[in-house]
Structure 1
Amino acid sequence: MKIAGISMIRNDADIVEPFVRHTLRLLDHLFVIVHSPEDGTGEILKALHDEGLPMTLVHYGEPAFLQGEGLTWLARQAGAALEPDFIFALDADEFIVPADRGAIESALSELPAGIPAARIRLRTFVPTAEDEPKEPNPVRRIRHRSRSEIKVDKLVLTAAFSADPMLVLDHGNHGLLRIGASAQQLRMPPLRQLALAHYPVRSAAQLTNKTIVGYLAHLAAGRPKVEELRLATHWRRCYDDMVVQGATRGMTDAQLIAWFHGRHDGLSNEGELVCDPTPAADPLRYAHLVQNDPYATLARFAEALIRARPGHLDGVRFDHCAEPTTVASPPAAGAAGQTRA
């Protein structure tokens, strides 16, 4: 059985090395769109590639976030290059569990023949006050996950997807759409024996970066309003709270993380969390390349966005303005209402 992974990665410097090492312990090859990162992610991916790991890097310079289109293209490229039986569509904060190749092959072999994809569930891991703050690997540091699994799935593609050019990945890798049909996702069977350990929030700096740059990159895609609302509702809510309303101003790091998760218990692990650490045996070699400064990342994103759209202000110059409106001369000294010094 041949299994590949595809991913579109931007600003995930703090987790991209453990993601790549974990994924390539389990899969045969990883295809990555390197999406103009501003936080050291690109340098880390290059270093991993230079180690000789089985991965293909495709550099994409457009700042806007076009994930569905990009990963559909990448899945086609992976299918042509490797002819895999299955392709996991993964974000850099998603880790396949159990971390066992035999268990993965067993689960995939039980899927019905001819289906283009299967759904794989997410298990969301949450930072707590028990985490070791000096541990640089977030997969080792964040050991608790929610007992309840959110009703959001990701996809594992099959060879039938590669054979059908009318199928495309929906944004976020949450479903498949058929070109020319309604925007409703196709129904897919669940892959119950596997899950994705999901680490959406690892630090306050990473969360700030994720919220602001993430939403602006969605906005830069220039989608129709209805499509933007469908794809970026969560991003918009977080962006409004953080930037427009200022609801997070003055929060501690722990409070900010709890706010994102909609939790108000000070990151206590009692009740709704269970300790279920994901194996993370590999030591980090490139932690020194992480640039987890949200302000610098935002500035670099803004610069990239401006440089990607040169000339948009052409013609907007003062010498192209209309003639100035005539203004009456000021009253002479000594006129009514004026006094001399």
Structure 2
Amino acid sequence: MRVVAVSRILDEVDIIEAFIRHAATFVDHHVILDNGSRDGTLDVLRRLAEEGVSLTVYQSPSICFSERDMNNWLYQEAVRHHDADWVACLDGDEFYDQRHLPGGLRSYLHELENSRENVVAVRFPWVHYNYTTHDDAAQNLVPQRMTHRTDVTNDYKIIASWRLSKEKGLVTEGQHDVHLPPQSTGKVVTERRLRIAHFSERNPAQYVTKFVRGWAKILTAGEAYQSRGYSSHYRGPFELLRERPELLLRSEAFLRTKNEERCLVNDPMDYRGGALRYTPPNDPEMQSVRALIGFLSEVSSRYGQLLDAVPEAREHSESIERRIDRIL
């Protein structure tokens, strides 16, 4: 039985090494699709590959993208070109925690693979670990620095079987579930004994980078994407930062205690990846600046390329620039 992980990543230099090393204890190979990292993430991946970690890394220049298309491209890449029996769908801030699953993940998947049930995917629940005042800023290894979690959620990520392709099914947005055609006999099961430790908010600077870039991507995609609700959870904090930045950047609650209003449990996850070798020292503000300037550079360059390539686009842009409106 062969398990292949697939991940889309973007500017994860503080956590990518721990993520890859931990995932490697569960999977046989890892396929990465980078969406334009500029913060040193790719340097870490190159050094891991040179060390011998089993990786394939692709890069897409996409600024605004069809998430479902990319997720299914990754799934098919794992099945067709890396002989995956199971495709582990993970983001770069998600870590398997199998402490409560007797026998562990591979044994569980092996039993499903040999069963007569036509299981096409398994859902595993998220457990959110977010930054708190309890974190030791000197600890560079994120899963050991952040040990306080909220309750187990009813949000899931999947591992998809090769049978999903046979059933003509698709991985949905966020890799949270699968879509099966009406005639499918495929079965999706939920297994809450294995959890996915999710380190989405690791410090204020990283969180600001995440929502600024996340909503900016939707703005670049146009009104059609905004009206469909893509990444709408980023819109509120983005607009607050734009209109009243002091409410975030001078807020003790946001900078330190944002996540402590929740019911927190001190429950360090079972990190299995070993020591870090290539991760730079924890410097979230500088990593955030590097990531955001990289994104701004890419968006600005893409805009210029569009004007050079499409005369109608330049004409439209210049018509906007010549416009003068009285506002008061």
The whole-number CA distance in structure 2 between the counterparts of 1:280 and 1:203 is 23
* Structure 1 residue 288 corresponds to structure 2 residue 288: no
Query: Which structure: greater helix fraction?
Result: 2
User: Which segment is superposed worse, 46-55 or 15-24?
Assistant: 46-55
Structure-2 change in CA distance of 1:191 and 1:222 (3 Å):
farther
1:1-341 matched pairs, under 5 angstroms = 1-98=1-98, 102-111=103-112, 113-146=117-150, 148-164=151-167, 166-178=168-180, 188-222=188-222, 224-225=224-225, 228-229=228-229, 231-246=230-245, 247-252=247-252, 255-256=254-255, 258-259=257-258, 261=259, 263-264=260-261, 271-280=263-272, 282-288=274-280, 292=284, 293=286, 294-309=288-303, 310-312=305-307, 314-315=314-315, 316-317=317-318
Structure-2 change in CA distance of 1:121 and 1:301 (3 Å):
same
What fraction of aligned residue pairs are identical, expressed as a percent? 22
Cα RMSD after superposing both structures = 2.9
TM-score by length of 1: 0.79
- Encode CA deviations 1:207-240: one digit per residue, 9 max, x unaligned: 11111112222443447247631x3121222323
Q: What is the SS of the residue equivalent to 1:189?
A: strand
Q: What is the SS of the residue equivalent to 2:289?
A: helix
Residue ranges of structure 2 left out of the alignment (5+ in a row): 308-312, 324-328
Q: What is the SS of the residue equivalent to 2:152?
A: coil
Contact kept in structure 2, 1:63 and 1:217, CA below 8 Å? yes
The whole-number CA distance in structure 1 between the counterparts of 2:283 and 2:132 is 23
Q: What is the SS of the residue equivalent to 2:314?
A: coil
Q: What is the SS of the residue equivalent to 1:197?
A: strand
Q: State the shift of 1:126 in Å.
A: 2.6
User: Which segment is superposed worse, 97-106 or 29-38?
Assistant: 97-106
The whole-number CA distance in structure 2 between the counterparts of 1:311 and 1:59 is 20
Contact kept in structure 2, 1:107 and 1:191, CA below 8 Å? no
Structure-2 change in CA distance of 1:187 and 1:208 (3 Å):
farther
The whole-number CA distance in structure 1 between the counterparts of 2:10 and 2:162 is 27
1:311 corresponds to which letter in structure 2? L
Higher-Rg structure is: 1
- Encode CA deviations 1:16-50: one digit per residue, 9 max, x unaligned: 00000000111100000011012111111122122
Residue ranges of structure 1 left out of the alignment (5+ in a row): 266-270, 323-341
Q: State the shift of 1:12 in Å.
A: 1.0
Contact kept in structure 1, 2:25 and 2:272, CA below 8 Å? no
